[in-house]
Amino acid sequence: MATPRIVVGIDGSEGSLEALRFALEEARLRGGEVAALFAWSIPFVADVPTGLLPEVIDDFRADAEKLLEEQIAAVGDSGGVEIERIVVEGPPAQALVGEAEGATLLVVGSRGRGGFKGLLLGSVSSQCMQHAPCPVVVVPARES
């Protein structure tokens, strides 16, 4: 039997920290591993000289890798669960759905808006729920 693999989306928010905590606990309970994914993209900037583009891309990638490491460090002890770090360029929902192929579970955070906090899903969590090839858990951020 294959080791259970739980994919979790990381974006630097409190919601993604809660999602990571949930994914680690589920992996611990199931004897599985976690794949923590951070998807990044370069915003369109018309003034970037073509020669600087590789350097700009490297900076964005390095920032994404740093943020992912900071989020993993922020949750503290992983409870012995192995965490695979994945940093990809592209739309987050597409990257998460692709990575969830063959996974046991996909975990994403939710973000509340206005007076309906906790009732509305963000676009990434909505897309994951509609298109993921495995069960999806949407974890709300802790209330302050």
State whether residue 52 is helix, strand or coil. Answer: helix
- Among the CATH numbers 3.50.50.60, 3.40.50.620, 3.40.50.10420, 3.40.190.10, which is that of 5-139? 3.40.50.620
Sequence-ordered alpha helix ranges (H) in the chain: 14-30, 53-75, 92-99, 123-131
At residue 80, the pLDDT reads 93
pLDDT in tens, 97-110: 999 999 999 999 98
Q: Dig out the tokens for 3 from the structure.
A: 């080791």
pLDDT in tens, 90-140: 999 999 999 999 999 999 998 643 344 444 556 888 899 999 999 999 998
At residue 116, the pLDDT reads 45
- Segment 66-79 shows an average pLDDT of 93
Q: From CA 79, how far away is CA 11, in angstroms rounded?
A: 22
Cα-based angle 134, 88, 100 (whole degrees, multiple of 5): 5
- Segment 61-74 shows an average pLDDT of 95
